[in-house]
Amino acid sequence: MSQYKALKQECYEANMQLPELELVIFTFGNVSAVDRSKGVFAIKPSGVPYKQLKPEDMVIVDFDNNILEGSMRPSSDTKTHALLYKTWEHIGGICHTHSTYAVSWAQAGRPVPIFGTTHADHLTQDIPCTPELTDDMIQGNYEHETGNLIINTFLKEGFSAEEVEMVLVQNHGPFSWGKNAAKAVYNSAVMEELARMASITLQVNPETPRLKQSLKEKHYYRKHGKNAYYGQS
């Protein structure tokens, strides 16, 4: 029996949430789950419809993109996952979708502005949108460079990958992460909803200002950190 059975099961269940939450159609999207003690992650195989997916189909890969177990080819975005796991040692799961509103903002090349407390419950700033990749990066090691682009955007802008667990890759779409695969999926669903709310907000009032600092902090810290009082401890 595979030593990765539990990891594959976690990865499978998180992937199956994507069609359930209406974040993907057909074969779009992919979720991975990491096992830090073994230095590997499980990821969805490439191009397999969700309806046909089975736990044992998940592919086991290490952070240098070596396939350790699995009879199928892993997601074409695997190198992006690998680099994020290698660089951000605190994350336990990664999710990538082509959800409608998040992709639309990524195509528009705009960060999603923080307009309300639904947003501040999850992060205290705009959902970042990366710059474009250069032609060289696209024609080179594209998926690896996509990982670099995300990481460098966070570095350059001083964003915290602990607080900001989501990003729009310009022209492409949303990536999210979290302490485990389920939380990464949760963040993708929240990102889609925030993107949708922001587009309606702008239609209703094109001059909507961003949320003020006190309210951003209030909502974020009632859910996060040592003084949080949202949820069950």
Binding site for a second copy (CB under 8 A): 21, 25-28, 45-48, 72-73, 76, 98, 100-101, 103-110, 115-118, 132-133, 135, 138-139, 142, 171-173, 186, 189-190, 193, 196-205, 208, 211-212, 214-215, 218, 222, 229-233
Start-end of H helices in 21-161: 78-87, 100-108, 117-120, 135-139, 142-157
CB of 118 to a second copy, least distance (A): 5
CB of 179 to a second copy, least distance (A): 15
CB of 38 to a second copy, least distance (A): 25
Catalytic position from the list 35, 62, 121, 142: 121
Nearby residues of 25 by Cβ (< 8 Å), 6 or more positions away: 19
Q: Distance between CA 176 and CA 53 in Å, rounded?
A: 22
Is 126 annotated in the active site? no
Q: Which amino acid is at 17?
A: Q
Q: Distance between CA 57 and CA 105 in Å, rounded?
A: 32
CB of 76 to a second copy, least distance (A): 5
Which lies closer to a second copy via its Cβ, residue 8 or residue 172? 172
Which lies closer to a second copy via its Cβ, residue 104 or residue 180? 104
Name the DSSP class of 36.
T
- Is 93 in a helix, a strand, or coil? strand
Q: Distance between CA 168 and CA 197 in Å, rounded?
A: 16
Residue pair 27/47 in contact (Cβ under 8 Å)? The answer is yes
Q: Distance between CA 51 and CA 174 in Å, rounded?
A: 23
Is 121 annotated in the active site? yes
Which lies closer to a second copy via its Cβ, residue 88 or residue 148? 148
Which lies closer to a second copy via its Cβ, residue 158 or residue 209? 209
Catalytic annotation, residues: 121, 230
